Structure 1
Amino acid sequence: MKTSALRFGASLLCLMLTPAAAGRNPQLDSDIVIRGGQVYTGDAQPFIGDVAIKADRIVYVGPKAPGRAGRTIDARGMIVAPGFIDPHTHAGAALASDSPVERLLLPFLTQGVTTAFIGVDGGGDPDVGRTLGGQGYGINFATYVGFGGVRSAVIGNADRAPTPAEMSQMKVLVAKAMCQGALGLSTGLFYAPQSFARQDEVAALARVAGAAGGVYDSHLRDESSYSIGLLGAVDEAIAIGRDAQIPVHIAHIKALGVDVQGSAPQVIARVEAARARGQVVHADQYPWSASGTGLSAALIPRWAQDGGRAAMLSRFADEKLRDRLRTEIAENLRRRGGAEAVLITTGPDWAKGRTLAVLARERGTDPVASTLDLLKVSEVSIASFNQSEDDIAAFMKRDWVVTSSDASTGHPRYYASFARKYATYVRERGVIDLRTFIASSTLRTARIFGLEGRGELRNGNFADVVVFNPAKFGPQADYTHPTLFSIGMRTVVVNGRIKIDDGKPTGMAAGMPLLRRAKAGVCPQ
């Protein structure tokens, strides 16, 4: 890792909140010893040994833990690793839920995820203090301030540039969020109304986040051939980072659609050229060939979305726009591999679980008409089968790409991304080895985002630890049954508390919000 990236990481700190130690015996040397497993500390060579935990910290990592323990977990034949860190999720609604069970995030815990980031794709609430409030969480989490939330609060859904006064308002919102503990600024430039922003507008707000020590996280403007193209969008993200003097993180890196499949080597070359020039650029990736998004985002042209949903629906009814709209929807379908490659994952019962091709046949119409009919009822989510395995493997092998899920409801990635990456790309196909899988799911992520005391099994670090069966750990969820828990995760410890015990959830809430501390002198005292 480059020195500049390490300096950036050192500037970020998490809240050091300690879960209550009720029921623990202060006379014992440790509360928990995980004994005799194959220990992967982060990115080091594994060894057979023990991990000891007292309160919320790791107190021993080595061949044999000394002293007495309140609980010993037999990990012989198991893999022991740091808790997995997911840097790109849509789990904010679950964390904000009124349901204590939903706030436990069992779909994450059962695949070993102990820390997750929310507020991605520009969706982060400008009021970060509100997002990071509350209690009773199953996992640790951090949040971005979202460009979409900021722009919508000031400008609304209009396709126009901000006035100078509006630009000042947006800068104030970003600065306030950074001082409340945001990781940085996230954008979803593919999505309206964020797609209406020009590069210089985004860079100006990224500069505010960068001055506070944050990161620029971007769903690229184009992962395919919709507007400026995949390579143009990668260049734009790198340019924003350079102009704003902020580390760049490319969200769920991919080559989406028939026009750009096979482009991974060109994307990799651009990123690595920027890194060679000294710029901090990295990415995350989910291990699925089908992406997940909204049907309107995937197929409806941006001009038709100007002004929000009500304005979009009025354009659907405008006979003067009918031919233009149908032509552009058909072209977007072609980009994504056709109606057979688009699966409806949420929405009305008569549509959910069907491809657009099947839906059109059942309704005696064509896929474009079915798209319009469906969106008139409600927005729906889709899984779009549009990536090549060669591209997925090429990105996965880079040491600047870390594991993520892009967890969203209706897609199996919410329940099974880390499990699938291990089972499919390590155990079955051998695309990467186990040590790389663990490093890209733990320590690398902690380092690039500056999560102090996490992502590595080391004395003094927070006790986020997983124990899994290497022969059984894997997904049950698939595109037809997306809400099945992963299997083979035997033990999960979050901040020293056992959350998964012998494969079963304990119901304990031990997670905490993590806040990034802004650079000195940036925020009011």
Structure 2
Amino acid sequence: MSPRWLLSVLLVLITGCGEAPITGHFDVILAGGTVYDGLGTPGRVADVALRADTIAAIGDLRHATADAVLDVAGLAVVPGFIDIHSHALSSTVEQSALVRRPDAENYVRQGVTTVLGGQDGSSAVPVAPLLQALEARPPAVNVGTFVGHGSVRAFVMGNVDRAPTPAELERMKALVADAMAAGAFGLSSGLEYTPGAFATTDELIALARVIAPYDGLYISHVRDEGGRLLESVEEVIAVGEGAGVKAQVTHHKLIGKHRWGGSAASLARIDEARRRGVDVASDQYPYTASSTGLTILFPSWSLEGRRADRLARLRDPATRARIRDAIVEHLERERGGDPATVVAASCPFDPSLNGQSLADILAARGRAVTLPNAAELAMELLERGGCQGVFHSMGEEDVRRIMQHPMTMIASDGGVPAPGEGVPHPRNYGTFARVLAHYVRDEQVLSFEEAVRKMTSLPASRLGLADRGVLRAGAKADVTVLDPATVQDHATFTEPHRYATGVVHVFVNGTAVLRDGEPTGARPGQVLRNPRAHAGR
């Protein structure tokens, strides 16, 4: 028996825990750590035993034996973190980052054991082949998916700005039903992107009704995260209420410096809806910058159709001028009128641009840093192939207020980037560690146990995963062991490819994927499906 484990046993005896010792043989015993169940309960010193893919026992295991006994005294033992908004999956097997980089080291080093793809209205359609491919080539972490409204709409109608015909709507409903029967956890939408931007609320309600028999979740990138945030949140609530389903405002934020502080009103809308029985919640990443394609600067009408259609509009002088004016108006209204707040994160056609703001690029080319020139540059970048961007437009006060709301989960909105490629958002490498380091340990915005709840049992409950997101006997053995005193994110906006530290061990379905702070190379992840798959058929 190690000195640290002996000390933990003495502490249990001194505090008069009174638990009867548990005997038996297990695969792994995590000995003497402070156990947090994921429900927001304060931690207690206890041992945790794993057998196969299950948590076999929690308590006093000093008389038990195991193939491996890990001394974790002084460390926190928590449920594996669940990222309810991930871009680890794409619309095809080959493009999915989790298929290309199945070790998911950026996730594992943060203690994440489950990721949910199919976000912002974009997913594979149909869903089943992607899930089957993931079962054939399992990753290090568990994975599930939503079905994307935008992808379903595009599959049936293309990228067009009109309402579906009755026949088209029925085809869309059938695709959503097929996805739910295959195991999707719900319907996602991306209403700032095309073709999602072309949908009415009634269309969304009609499709969300399809997921109701499966207890599915409607999770939405809302229509406007700036000046129309309140009505956009109300639209999410309307879909949940109208369809009779759980609803979620994903990556809840408020952009535009002149609006900072306004998140109190959007959270109040959520509270009002919950009081009248609408099951609505939100999730958030802990940064004041967002990330998406630079096309977010463009008016949605200019993005209709295929790439050739977009380029044709830019070739027409009158239409190009209209688009330029709309981008200028967006930069003024949503980005503080400052091209320096918009950064090119990944430009595959010219990696030298990565990490430079629109202002930087203009200055380097000897062009005046003006909003019309920034708009012209954005159009030029689209013509050359397009870039991902990072947008510095949120306020710290709103980040903290949203984080403290009891129905806000922590989610990365990241994926599994290729190490060293581009200058992506640091959320890919740092989300969960940053919450625990900065917002728990340094700033006391959350208690440790509340932060863990927001990363574990809260997202699990939204997904209907009764056997994950909690530490209890009989639950699946997705377990993270970390040091609350040293857990730390290191990824920054200028150096984003830096792994988090302070996570010591990570188990996925009872198998170690991180041991003593180093990846094991094991890939025990499972494809998770909606527990009520087939319920609606």
Could you tell me the TM-score, scaled by structure 2's length?
Answer: 0.89
SS in structure 1 opposite 2:101? helix
Could you give the per-residue CA deviations for residues 310-351 of structure 1, whole angstroms, max 9, x where no partner exists? Answer: 211111111112332222111212212321111111012231
Give the superposition deviation at 1:101.
7.2
2:83 corresponds to which of 86, 102, 110: 86
Give the superposition deviation at 1:212.
2.8
Task: Tell me if the contact between 2:181 and 2:534 (Cα under 8 Å) persists in the aligned partners.
Answer: no
Distance in 1 of aligned mates of 2:276 and 2:189? 24
Give the superposition deviation at 1:98.
9.1
Give the superposition deviation at 1:520.
6.8
Instruction: Give the corresponding residue for 2:308.
Output: 310
Instruction: Give the corresponding residue for 1:256.
Output: 255
* CA spacing shift, 1:77–1:92, aligned 2, 3 Å: same
Instruction: Give the corresponding residue for 1:372.
Output: 379
Give the superposition deviation at 1:519.
6.8
* CA spacing shift, 1:521–1:485, aligned 2, 3 Å: closer
Could you give the per-residue CA deviations for residues 90-110 of structure 1, whole angstroms, max 9, x where no partner exists? Answer: 001598659977112111000
SS in structure 2 opposite 1:345? strand
What aligned pairs does 1:1-16 form with structure 2 within 5 A after superposition? none
Distance in 1 of aligned mates of 2:487 and 2:93? 25
Give the superposition deviation at 1:63.
3.8
Structure 2 counterpart of 1:113, which letter?
V
Instruction: Give the corresponding residue for 1:215.
Output: 217
Instruction: Give the corresponding residue for 2:233.
Output: 234
Matched, 1:431 2:429: no
Task: Tell me if the contact between 2:293 and 2:387 (Cα under 8 Å) persists in the aligned partners.
Answer: yes
Deviates more, 1:512-521 or 1:135-144: 512-521
Distance in 2 of aligned mates of 1:332 and 1:463? 47
Could you give the per-residue CA deviations for residues 6-36 of structure 1, whole angstroms, max 9, x where no partner exists? Answer: xxxxxxxxxxxxxxxxxxxxx9611101111
RMSD: 1.7
Structure 2 counterpart of 1:400, which letter?
M
Give the superposition deviation at 1:266.
0.3
Distance in 2 of aligned mates of 1:278 and 1:499? 40
Distance in 2 of aligned mates of 1:398 and 1:183? 24
Instruction: Give the corresponding residue for 1:204.
Output: 206
Distance in 1 of aligned mates of 2:514 and 2:535? 42
Task: Tell me if the contact between 2:180 and 2:534 (Cα under 8 Å) persists in the aligned partners.
Answer: no
Give the superposition deviation at 1:54.
0.7
Structure 2 counterpart of 1:302, which letter?
S
Distance in 1 of aligned mates of 2:462 and 2:335? 32
Instruction: Give the corresponding residue for 1:333.
Output: 331
Structure 1 counterpart of 2:276, which letter?
R
* CA spacing shift, 1:521–1:294, aligned 2, 3 Å: closer
Could you give the per-residue CA deviations for residues 52-79 of structure 1, whole angstroms, max 9, x where no partner exists? Answer: 1011111111244541111011111111
SS in structure 1 opposite 2:352? coil
Distance in 2 of aligned mates of 1:395 and 1:521? 34
2:36 corresponds to which of 34, 40, 47: 40
Task: Tell me if the contact between 2:285 and 2:413 (Cα under 8 Å) persists in the aligned partners.
Answer: yes
Task: Tell me if the contact between 1:90 and 1:407 (Cα under 8 Å) persists in the aligned partners.
Answer: yes
Matched, 1:180 2:148: no
What aligned pairs does 1:355-434 form with structure 2 within 5 A after superposition? 355-365=357-367, 366-408=373-415, 409=417, 410-434=424-448
Distance in 2 of aligned mates of 1:370 and 1:441? 39
Give the superposition deviation at 1:123.
0.6
Matched, 1:55 2:52: yes
Instruction: Give the corresponding residue for 1:4.
Output: none
What number of residue pairs does the alignment pair up?
Answer: 493
Could you give the per-residue CA deviations for residues 344-373 of structure 1, whole angstroms, max 9, x where no partner exists? Answer: 110122311101111111112331222111
Structure 2 counterpart of 1:412, which letter?
P
Distance in 1 of aligned mates of 2:471 and 2:254? 34
Could you give the per-residue CA deviations for residues 463-493 of structure 1, whole angstroms, max 9, x where no partner exists? Answer: 1111112222111111112121111111000
* CA spacing shift, 1:497–1:520, aligned 2, 3 Å: closer
Identical residues among aligned pairs (%): 38
Task: Tell me if the contact between 1:211 and 1:519 (Cα under 8 Å) persists in the aligned partners.
Answer: no
Give the superposition deviation at 1:412.
1.1
* CA spacing shift, 1:322–1:136, aligned 2, 3 Å: closer
Give the superposition deviation at 1:259.
4.6
Task: Tell me if the contact between 2:429 and 2:499 (Cα under 8 Å) persists in the aligned partners.
Answer: yes
Runs of 4+ in 1 over 6 A off after TM superposition: 98-101
Listed as ranges, the gaps of 5+ residues in structure 1 are: 1-26
SS in structure 2 opposite 1:48? strand
Task: Tell me if the contact between 2:192 and 2:224 (Cα under 8 Å) persists in the aligned partners.
Answer: yes
Instruction: Give the corresponding residue for 1:501.
Output: 515
* CA spacing shift, 1:305–1:35, aligned 2, 3 Å: same
Listed as ranges, the gaps of 5+ residues in structure 2 are: 1-22, 368-372, 418-423
Give the superposition deviation at 1:160.
0.8
Task: Tell me if the contact between 1:412 and 1:479 (Cα under 8 Å) persists in the aligned partners.
Answer: yes
Give the superposition deviation at 1:436.
0.9
